[in-house]
Amino acid sequence: MKTIKSTLLLLLSLCAFASFAEQTPTITQQELLTLMATPSTETLVLDVRTPEEFAQGHIKGAVNISHDQIEKNLSKIIAYKDKKVVVHCRSGRRAVSAENALSSAGFSKLQHLEGDMNGWQDANLPLEK
């Protein structure tokens, strides 16, 4: 019985480690602002909210592709496959879904905007309409 418990504990630990190891690295709001202010930076800010949410206010220069349309619209962003892509949505859930699809498509430099749009707005950072 002790061996079974130990084995189960080990398996659960390995699963947890694998889940956390595959998480997309984050980028802070300030780091993104600095990156956007650097003229030679080739970074895509990908807003995966709905077009209606995007129209209500978005980060300047962001490209909008709804999280459930990523795979159908890869051709629009394929030029960034090996460049930095910063993904965000309103609160994070849809961004993770989009990041998984992008990672499966071979995008290698994904980052998740810390706090997503809720955090951006809470910090009173600039929005474009």
96: buried, middle or exposed (CB in 10 Å: 19+, 13-18, 0-12)? middle
* Residue 112 β-bridge partners: 26, 87
26, 113 Cβ separation under 8 angstroms: yes
92, 117 Cβ separation under 8 angstroms: no
Q: Indicate the helix (H) or strand (E) that contains 11.
A: helix 2-21
Tokens coding 54:
């995007």
Catalytic residue set: 89
Residue 35: closest CA among 57, 55, 59? 59
